[in-house]
Amino acid sequence: MAGPVVDRARETELIEAALAGGANVVLEGPPGTGKSTLLRRVAGDLATAFVLVEGNAELTPARVVGQFDPAQVLARGYDPEIFVDGPLLTAMREGGLFYVEELNRVPEETLNTLLAVMSEREIAVPRLGVVRAAEGFAVVAAMNPFDAVGTARVSGAIYDRVCRIAMDYQSAEAEQQIVTGRAPVPSAQWGRQAVELVRATREHPDLRFGSSVRGAIDFASITHHLAKARQVPADDWFVGLDAARVALSGRVRVEESAQRSAEQIIEQLYTDIFGPPPSDESEESASESAEGSGSGEI
């Protein structure tokens, strides 16, 4: 799924410079800002191994470091031959990038294991011995600074061992390019409006946070498939509205004080940006010849 990376030349340069100097890197930014995409590209550019782990409560030190194959320990004892490398040791031995997504969700004891590796470039594994990282090894991590889960846990000790690169939302032009590269878009104009709508969710006073470009990609893709299923043109107004609701209503968070649901807010934004439903217009023109229709003209 690694399509071309749109923009981000500056961030790419910064990451590569930090890694070239032997630093560890953390990318901080909201979901969907291209952190994983960018780090994959950098690993590709450097032709280096890229070992990814997802930060969550189950990521124990044994999971990242590895362990002696429990089935064989009885018969063979703690023979180094039966040690199964975890992702961290794999990256260290290969001189690759050890990439941790959602760093702030990693349990404390695992963070402590990483801390030692980040500063010493080696790890002492009980009964196995010391494993030194090959040239090129680095810990790279990504986190969402607004993540409600466990954000406070990333300690100053970790921050002291990483270079931090902030990833903000892409520009509107970049988002259009990303969407066009990932999903069939009815027209360039439609693509611009779809991105405008998604960006508007990030600024809306009733929304605590809005959708990332992932929402725009799904919006376009659902529109395409729904229009096909309904056998209507790809830019059908009603198809777009349904697609916008489906793609975006779960991705935004409504402020507690707001009087409206996520779907209502998205419908309003959709009408603001894509215009009123076409039936309104035909009713209007129909009502010109009839006497006073319900909604009338304003």
Ligand X SMILES: Nc1ncnc2c1ncn2[C@@H]1O[C@H](COP(=O)(O)OP(=O)(O)O)[C@@H](O)[C@H]1O
Q: Which residues bind ligand X (CB under 6 A)?
A: 5-8, 31-37, 142, 170, 178, 182, 213-214, 217
State the nearest-atom distance from the C-beta of 31 to Mg ion, in Å.
Answer: 7
C-beta separation of 184 from 228 below 8 A: no
Which CB, 59 or 178, lies closer to ligand X?
178
Q: Which of 133, 222 has the CB closer to ligand X?
A: 222
| Helix 262-274 with 237-248: angle, nearest 10 deg | 140
Nearer to ligand X, 212 or 249 (CB): 212
Query: Which position's Cβ is nearest Mg ion?
Result: 36
Which of these ranges, 29-37, 41-49, 109-117, 197-205, lies near Mg ion under the rule CB under 5 A? 29-37
Determine the interface stretch with Mg ion among 33-41, 126-134, 205-213, 220-228 (rule: CB under 5 A).
33-41
* Pairing of the two strands 66-68 and 83-85: antiparallel
- State yes or no: residue 36 binds Mg ion (CB under 5 A): yes
CB of 52 or CB of 115, closer to Mg ion: 52
Nearer to Mg ion, 193 or 211 (CB): 211
Q: Please state the closest distance from residue 67 (CB atom) to ligand X, in A.
A: 29
Least separation in angstroms between CB 150 and ligand X: 17
Across the chain, the runs of DSSP E, i.e. the strands, are 24-28, 50-54, 66-68, 83-85, 97-101, 122-125, 129-132, 138-143, 162-166, 207-209, 253-254
AA letter at 57:
A
Using alpha carbons only, give the angle 247, 101, 23 rounded to the nearest 5 degrees.
135
Shortest approach of ligand X to residue 294 CB, angstroms? 44
Cβ closer to Mg ion: 31 or 277? 31
The least CB distance from residue 11 to ligand X, in Å, is 9
Nearest CB to ligand X, comparing residues 129 and 181: 181
Nearest to 168 by CA among 30, 8, 53: 30
Site for Mg ion contains 147 (CB under 5 A): no
Using CA atoms, how far apart are residues 292 and 32, in angstroms rounded to an integer?
49
Helix (H) or strand (E) holding 109: helix 108-120
211, 194, 207, 213: which is closest to 264 by C-alpha?
Answer: 207
- Of ligand X, Mg ion, none, which one sits near residue 213, judging by CB under 5 to 8 A according to partner kind? ligand X
Q: Which two tokens stand for residue 296?
A: 């009338």
Judged by CB under 5 A, does residue 180 bind Mg ion? no
Residue 104 partner contact from ligand X, Mg ion, none using kind-dependent CB cut-offs of 5 to 8 Å? none
Q: Which two tokens stand for residue 48?
A: 């280096």
Please measure the distance between the N-terminal and C-terminal CA atoms of the chain and give it in whole angstroms.
Answer: 49
Q: How far is the CB of 34 from ligand X (least distance, A)?
A: 3
Interface residue list for Mg ion (CB under 5 A): 36
